[in-house]
Structure 1
Amino acid sequence: MTMNERKTIDLEEGWEFMQKGITKLKKILEGLPEPPFSSEDYVMLYTFGVFFLLLVSLLFLWLHILKHDEFMLRELVKRWANYKIMVRWLAKFFRYLDKYFVARRSLQPLTEVGLKCFHDQVYQELNAKVSDAVISLIHQEREGEQIDRALLKNVLDIFVEVGMGQMDHYQNDFEEAMLKDTAAYYSRKASNWILEYSCPDYMLKAEECLRREKDRVAHYLHSSSEPKLLEKVQHELLSVYATQLLEKEHSGCHALLRDDKVEDLSRMFRLFSKIPKGLDVVSNIFKQHVTAEGMALVKQAEDAASNKKADKKDVIGLQGRDFVTKVIELHDKYLAHVSDSFQNHKLSRKALRQAFEVICNKGVAGSSSAELLAAVCDNILKKGGSKKLSDEAIEEILEKIVKMLAFIIDKDLFGELCRRKLARRLLFDKSASDDHERFILTKLKQLCGGQFMSKMEEMVTDFTLAKDNQTSFEGYLNNKPHAYLGIDLTVTVLTTGSWPSYKSFDLNLPAEMVKCVEVFREFYQTKTKHRSLTWIYSLGSCKISGKFEPKTMELIVTTSQACALLLFNSSDRLSYSEIMTQLNLSDDDVVRLLHSLSCAKYKILNKEPNTKTISPIDHFEFNSKFTDKMRRIKIDLPPLDEKKKVIEDVDMDRRYAIDASIVRIMKSRKVLGHQQLVMECVEQLGHIFEPDYNLIKKRIESLITRDYLERDEDNPNQFRYVV
C-alpha cells in the first residue's frame, strides 16, 4: 500500500483491532493454541498506539496476583516472565520511536519504562509479602522440609532485575529481613544446643549449618549474601558461646587436647578461625593447657627429688635427663597439634612458644633449666651415656635439646656450662664421638650465632692440634736417648683464651715428675720461644702401682693424689701439716685430697683419729692391707661446686657484652636518648640472655666514666658518642 493509498481508520475501529491483538497476545503468553502474528497484524498494532498494551498487561498481572505464599510466588514468577515478553514486544513495536524520538528527547528507553512501571505498580505493593513468603520457605528448609529451590531462585532474581543493575532492592527489601530471621533462628538453636550437646557434637552441628547455608547461596540466594549470611550464623553459633563452648567440662578444648582428638581440634580451628578473635581464645586455652601439663612435669620432678632425698648430682644427672626427656616429648606432642590440628598458624606457634618459655625457665630442685640441659647434653655425648642408641637417634635427641634451648632465657649460662663440660670430655678422653660433638656445635651455632660458639669451636681445633703436638713430643723422645723418662708422659698444650679458666697452684712434684716437666719444656722451646707454659696440675691424672699385701693394684688418681701417695714411699707416717708443707697446697686442697684417700670409698690411707672428717691434728699411714675385688680402681676427688664460679664468669661476660652493644649502637647512631638506647641494647642481646635494666644503666655510667659516651649538656637523658 502506498502513501496515497493509506486508509483512514477511526478510533473505534482502531481500538477494536488493538483489543483483538492484545487478546491474541495474552493467549499466546498463556500457552493457548493461537497462530502467530502476521506481518499485517504487526504493522497495524504498531500503527494504532500499542503503548496501551503495557497498561493493560499491568492490570492483567495485578488481577492474577491475588494468591498467597508459595502459590503467590509461582504466579509471580509466571507473570513476571510474561511481562518481560510483553515489554520486549513493545520495544519491537516502537523500535523506530525508541531509536530516534526517545534518543533525541533524552527520554528513558521503553524497556526501562516497562521495568519502572512494574516496580511502581506491582513490586512496591508485593515485595514485603514476597519477601515474607521466601523467608518462610527458607525456614521450612532449615527445619528439614523439601522446598522448590528453583522457584526461590526465580523469585529472588526478580529483586535483582528490578534494581536494573543495582542491588538496593535485593538488599533492602529481602536480604536485610532474611539475615535478621537467620540470626533469630540460630540464636534459638544455639541456646538449646549448648546445653544439650558436647563440644565436639556442637561443632559438628555448627559446621553442618554453615555448609547448608553455603549450599543455599549456591542454589538460590545471590552470591553477595554469602559472607553476610555466614557471619550471622558464625556469630550466633560460635561467637556468642565461644568461651562456654571451649571451656565445657569433660569435652571442651582442654579435654580434646588431653585426649589427642586431632579431628575435633582441626574442626575447632576451622570454625573459630572464621570469627573475630576466635583463634585468640583457642590459642589462649592451648597455652594454658600446655603450661599446666609442663608445670605438672616440673612438680613431678620436684617430688621425685624430694622423696628420694637426692643430692644435686642426682637431680642434674639421671633425674634431670628423665625430666628433660619428658619435656621434649611434651613439646613433640603439642608441636604435632600445631602442625596437624592448627595448620601451623602463627597464633598457635606463639602460644606453644610462650608455654614452653614458662616451663623451660622453671628449675628443678635448685637446678636451673640451663644446668639440666647442659647436663643432659654432656650425658649423651660422653662415653657410655647413650650406648644403646643409634647415631640417628642421638642426633635427633641433641637437635630437640637445642630446640628446648630456644625457650631458655639464660642461653649464655648454658653455653658456659657446655663449654666446661666439653673441656672435661676432651681433656679426659670421655667424648663418645667427634661427629656428635661437631653436630651439637653446628646446631648451637645456628641457634645462637657464630660468636656464641666461637670458643667451643676453638677448643675442638685446639685439642686436635694438641694431639699433633703430643705425636711430635713422642718423636722427640725417641730421637733423644738422654731424655728417657722411665714413665709414659702425655701433655696437652692448650691456648689459654679459648678454654675455661682453671685454678693453678705450685704443686711440689716428686723427682720423677720434675724430670718429665723439664724434658717437655725443653721440647716445647724447640717449637716456639715466644710462649710460656703454665701447668694446670688439677687437670692431670696418673696411673700408679699400689703394692698392697693382698695384691698389687693399679690406681688411677689425680696428679695431686699421686704426689701425696708417693710421699709414703719414704715415710711410714705423716701428719696433716707435713703433707700440706711437702705438697705446697692450701688447706682446702689438702682437705679434699686427704678425704678422697682416707675417708671415701677407697681407704688407701689410714687416718688417726678414725673419723669421717679431715682436721689439722690428723695423722696418716699407708694402708698396706687395702684390697678390692678389682685390680684397677679410680679414686675420684670430691667434685668442686663450679656453679658459683660459672655464674661469676657469666655475669662478667654479660657486662662486656652490654658494653660492646652500647658502643656499637652509639657508634652508628652518634646521638641517642636513654630509653631508646636501653631498648636497642635489649633487642640486640635478648637472643642470648635477658639484660637487666639496672645493669644496662650501670654500664652506661661506666662508659661515660671511661669517655666512650657523654651526656648532652641540655638534656641529661640524651647521650653522645665520643669519637
Structure 2
Amino acid sequence: MAINERKTIDLEQGWEFMQKGITKLKNILEGLQEPQFSSEDYMMLYTTIYNMCTQKPPHDYSQQLYDKYRESFEEYITSTVLPSLREKHDEFMLRELVKRWANHKVMVRWLSRFFHYLDRYFIARRSLPPLNEVGLTCFRDLVYQELNGKVRDAVISLIDQEREGEQIDRALLKNVLDIFVEIGMGQMHYYENDFEAAMLKDTAAYYFRKASNWILDDSCPDYMLKAEECLKREKDRVSHYLHSSSEPKLLEKVQHELLSVYATQLLEKEHSGCHALLRDDKVEDLSRMFRLFSKIPRGLDPVSGIFKQHVTSEGTALVKQAEDAASNKKADKKDVVGLQEQVFVRKVIELHDKYLAYVNDCFQNHTLFHKALKEAFEVFCNKGVAGSSSAELLATFCDNILKKGGSEKLSDEAIEETLEKVVKLLAYISDKDLFAEFYRKKLARRLLFDKSANDDHERSILTKLKQQCGGQFTSKMEGMVTDLTLARENQTSFEEYLNNNPNANPGIDLTVTVLTTGFWPSYKSFDLNLPAEMVKCVEVFREFYQIKTKHRKLTWIYSLGTCNLIGKFEQKIMELIVTTYQASALLLFNSSDRLSYSEIMTQLNLTDDDVVRLLHSLSCAKYKILNKEPNTKIISPTDHFEFNSKFTDKMRRIKIPLPPVDEKKKVIEDVDKDRRYAIDASIVRIMKSRKVLGHQQLVMECVEQLGRMFKPDFKAIKKRIEDLITRDYLERDKENPNLFRYLA
C-alpha cells in the first residue's frame, strides 16, 4: 500500500504565508478594519509552523523561524510603536505608552500561540529563552530603555501635582507603574532603580520644604494634624497606584522629614508642646503624638521622658501642698495628723487614676509609659509628709476606710475600689515592711477594740496585699483575723462552762479574747495589781482554759482591756466605760477617800509614765471623776486625789478616753530590728550558694533579694557583713580584703 508523502514547504513560501497572518494581527491592533481570526485561520497558521519544524533536515526551519519571530516584533516596534511615542509628551505620552504596552502583550500572546510548537520542542531542547520572554525583551530593549527616564519624570510630576491638591488620573499612573513591575518579569529591580529611588528622593525634598514652613507657623497639635494627614494620603497613594512594596520606604521618608528632623522642636514648643498638652489634658493630641512618634526610631523616648517629668512635678506639688497645710495646722495647734493626710492620699490616688488612664488610652498601654509612670510615682511616693513616712500615711488611710465611723462614708463598691488602688500605690513604696508593721498595729486595734466595720473588707485587702507582696507579707495579718474568729468561739464555750458551773461564776460579766503570740504586735504585759474583784475573774478563766488545753501558758495583757463601771454620784448613777488600768485606779477609792500620787503608784504597781497618763485622764481631762490638789493641769508626784462625788453629765453612759501612746517610734525600731535579721539571712543565703564572693557583688545581690520589701541601705549591709564576720559566718580573703568566704 502506498504511503501518502507530505509535500515539503520551503522557507520563503512558508514565511510569506505566516507574514500575512502577522500583518492581519498588526492591523487589528492598529484599529484597522479586519475580520477577526477564525479557528480555521488559527489552525492553518499553527500547522504551517508545525510542518516547517518537523520536516527532515535540511528542511527543518526551527532556528530560522525562532529568529523571524523576534524580528517581527523588532520591525513592528521600530516602524510603528516608537515613532508614535516619540511625538507625544507628558500625560499624552503616558497614555500612548499604556496603550502600546497592552497591544504588545496581545501580540506576544497571539504570536506565541502561532509559534507554539517551537516552545514545546526546539526551545526546550536548546534551553533558549521562551517565546513569551523574547517578545517582552524586545519591548524592554527598544521602548523601555529609551523612554523610562521621561516616563519616570512625568509620573513624579503628576504625583507632586496631586500632593498640591490637583486631580490626576490615578488609573493611568497605576497602569504606567505596572509596566515598570512587569518589565522585570518577576524581579522588582526595574521598578526600584528606574522609578522608586527617584520618587523617594522627590518625596523627601517635597516634605522637607513643607516641614520647614510648618514648624515656624504651626502649633504642635496643628503640625501633628498635618503630619498625620500627609501620612494617610501617602498610604492612600500606595493603595491606588504605587506598588505595595513602596509603602514602608515611602512612609519612612515622610516620617523622617516631618517628625524625626523636628522631634525636639515639636515636643518642646513653648505653648503647645508635650508639656502643655499634658498640662491642659489634651487627650486627643497626646494620642496623636503617640501614634506619630511611635513610628520613628526611638521617637517615644523623649515623649515618655516628658510624661515622667510632668507626673513627678504634679506629685511633688501634692507633697508640698500637704506639707504647707500641715505646718499651718501646727501653727493653729489643731489636730496635725489625720484629715490632711487622708486628703493627700486621696489626691495621690486620683493622680494615679488619671495618668494610668493616659498610659492605657493615649499611650496604648506601652511599656515605656508604664515604666515612666512607675518611676515618677516612686519619686514622690517615698517623700513622706510632715514627719510621717508614706508607709504610715497609707496604713492610716486604710485604717480610716476600714474602721467604724472612719472619716469616709463610702459604699461597699467604693471601698473595694479604693483598697484596690491603695495596694497599687503600695507597689511604688520602697519601705513595704514599714507599711506592713503600721498596718498590723492598726489592724490589731481595729480587731481588739471591735472597731472594724466589715470583716469582708478586712479579708479582701489582705488578699490584694498577698497578691502584690507575697504570702509572707500577710501571713501574720491573716493569722490575726482568724484568731478573732477562734476567740469568739472560745468565749461562747466559756459562757457555757459558767452556766454549767454556777459556783465558778465570778459575779462579773467577763469577756476574754485569746490570741496567738506570734501573729500579734508585741504588747507590754505589766504585773498590774488587779483589784480583788478582777483577780477572781482571772482565776475562773484560767481554770476553764486548763480543761481545754494543758500546755498553753496564758499571758494577760491588761493594757488592752476595757471595763464598764457603775459610778454612784450624788446627782445620779452613771456607767463609765474605762480601760482596765483606769478601772483599777478608780476602784482604789472604794476603800479610801483620799490617796496620794505615790500611794496610787505603789498599790497599782505601774511605771511613772502610765500613772501620769492614767491620773491625767481621770482628773484633768474632759471628765473629772477625781478631784486633784493642787488644781493644775499637770500631774506631779506630790499631788493628792479624792473621788469627785459631785460629778455629773447629761449622758447616762460616758467613755473616758486614755490618750493613745505614740507608737510610731516603736514601729520604726521594730522594723529596723527585723531588717537587720533579714539582711543577715540574705547575706548567709547568698554566701552559702556562692561560697566566695566580692563585696560589690554581695551587696548588689543582697539589695536585689530584699528590694521587694525595703530598700536596704548600703551602710547597713556593710555593718551586717562585719557583724557576720565577727560571728564566724564569713571571713575576709587574706590576699584580697574585698573578697568574702562562707564558713559552713
Match of 2:34 in 1: 34
Aligned equivalents of 1:499, 1:23: Cα separation in 2: 108
Aligned equivalents of 1:214, 1:134: Cα separation in 2: 17
1:339 counterpart = 2:360: yes
Q: Where does the alignment leave 5 or more consecutive residues of structure 1 unmatched?
A: none
Q: Tell me, yes or no, if the aligned pair for 2:733 and 2:741 is still in contact at 8 Å.
A: yes
1:297-696 alignment to 2 at 5 Å?
297-309=318-330, 314-385=335-406, 388-669=409-690, 672-696=693-717
Match of 1:55 in 2: 74
User: How much has 1:293 moved relative to structure 2?
Assistant: 2.2
Scaled by the length of structure 2, the TM-score of the pair is 0.88
1:629-673 Cα distance to aligned partner (Å, 9 max, x none):
323222222221211110111111122223333344444555555
User: How much has 1:381 moved relative to structure 2?
Assistant: 1.4
Q: Tell me, yes or no, if the aligned pair for 2:329 and 2:336 is still in contact at 8 Å.
A: no
2:193 maps to amino acid:
N
Q: Tell me, yes or no, if the aligned pair for 2:404 and 2:451 is still in contact at 8 Å.
A: yes
Change in CA separation of 1:518 and 1:260 when aligned onto 2, cut-off 3 Å: same
Aligned equivalents of 2:334, 2:730: Cα separation in 1: 46
User: How much has 1:319 moved relative to structure 2?
Assistant: 1.8
Q: Tell me, yes or no, if the aligned pair for 2:329 and 2:335 is still in contact at 8 Å.
A: no
Change in CA separation of 1:387 and 1:185 when aligned onto 2, cut-off 3 Å: closer
Q: 2:151 aligns with which of 116, 119, 130?
A: 130
1:192-222 Cα distance to aligned partner (Å, 9 max, x none):
3333333333333222222211111111101
Q: Tell me, yes or no, if the aligned pair for 1:51 and 1:90 is still in contact at 8 Å.
A: no
1:64 counterpart = 2:64: no
Query: Helix, strand or coil for the counterpart of 2:627?
Result: strand
Q: 1:77 aligns with which of 89, 98, 117?
A: 98
Query: Helix, strand or coil for the counterpart of 2:621?
Result: coil
Q: Tell me, yes or no, if the aligned pair for 2:318 and 2:348 is still in contact at 8 Å.
A: yes
Aligned equivalents of 2:279, 2:339: Cα separation in 1: 27
Q: Tell me, yes or no, if the aligned pair for 2:355 and 2:373 is still in contact at 8 Å.
A: yes
Aligned equivalents of 1:81, 1:393: Cα separation in 2: 72
User: How much has 1:550 moved relative to structure 2?
Assistant: 3.6
Change in CA separation of 1:638 and 1:129 when aligned onto 2, cut-off 3 Å: same
User: How much has 1:19 moved relative to structure 2?
Assistant: 8.4
Identity %, equivalent residues: 80
| Aligned length in residues | 720
Match of 2:56 in 1: none
User: How much has 1:407 moved relative to structure 2?
Assistant: 1.6
1:112 maps to amino acid:
E
Query: Helix, strand or coil for the counterpart of 1:641?
Result: coil
Q: Tell me, yes or no, if the aligned pair for 1:335 and 1:352 is still in contact at 8 Å.
A: yes
1:667-710 Cα distance to aligned partner (Å, 9 max, x none):
45555554444333333322221222333333344444444445
1:97-116 alignment to 2 at 5 Å?
97-116=118-137
Match of 2:61 in 1: none
1:129-172 Cα distance to aligned partner (Å, 9 max, x none):
21111110000111111111111111111212222222112111
Aligned equivalents of 1:446, 1:311: Cα separation in 2: 42
Query: Helix, strand or coil for the counterpart of 1:65?
Result: helix
Q: Tell me, yes or no, if the aligned pair for 2:70 and 2:134 is still in contact at 8 Å.
A: no
User: How much has 1:224 moved relative to structure 2?
Assistant: 0.5
2:32 maps to amino acid:
L
2:562 maps to amino acid:
S
Match of 2:165 in 1: 144
Query: Helix, strand or coil for the counterpart of 1:308?
Result: helix
Aligned equivalents of 1:259, 1:121: Cα separation in 2: 64
Query: Helix, strand or coil for the counterpart of 2:199?
Result: helix
Q: Where does the alignment leave 5 or more consecutive residues of structure 2 unmatched?
A: 53-63
Aligned equivalents of 1:361, 1:497: Cα separation in 2: 30
Aligned equivalents of 1:5, 1:491: Cα separation in 2: 128
Change in CA separation of 1:574 and 1:230 when aligned onto 2, cut-off 3 Å: same
Query: Helix, strand or coil for the counterpart of 2:330?
Result: coil
User: How much has 1:412 moved relative to structure 2?
Assistant: 0.9
Query: Helix, strand or coil for the counterpart of 1:309?
Result: helix
Q: Tell me, yes or no, if the aligned pair for 1:316 and 1:372 is still in contact at 8 Å.
A: no
Q: Tell me, yes or no, if the aligned pair for 2:330 and 2:336 is still in contact at 8 Å.
A: no
Aligned equivalents of 2:651, 2:182: Cα separation in 1: 102
1:595 maps to amino acid:
H
Q: Tell me, yes or no, if the aligned pair for 2:403 and 2:446 is still in contact at 8 Å.
A: yes
Q: 2:314 aligns with which of 293, 304, 320?
A: 293
Aligned equivalents of 1:311, 1:414: Cα separation in 2: 29
Q: Tell me, yes or no, if the aligned pair for 2:235 and 2:247 is still in contact at 8 Å.
A: yes
Q: Tell me, yes or no, if the aligned pair for 1:18 and 1:50 is still in contact at 8 Å.
A: no
Change in CA separation of 1:252 and 1:314 when aligned onto 2, cut-off 3 Å: farther
Change in CA separation of 1:323 and 1:91 when aligned onto 2, cut-off 3 Å: same
Aligned equivalents of 1:203, 1:378: Cα separation in 2: 48
Q: Tell me, yes or no, if the aligned pair for 1:316 and 1:371 is still in contact at 8 Å.
A: no
Change in CA separation of 1:317 and 1:8 when aligned onto 2, cut-off 3 Å: closer
Match of 2:60 in 1: none
2:415 maps to amino acid:
I
Across the aligned residues of Structure 1 and Structure 2, the Cα RMSD in angstroms comes to 3.1
Q: Tell me, yes or no, if the aligned pair for 2:208 and 2:258 is still in contact at 8 Å.
A: yes
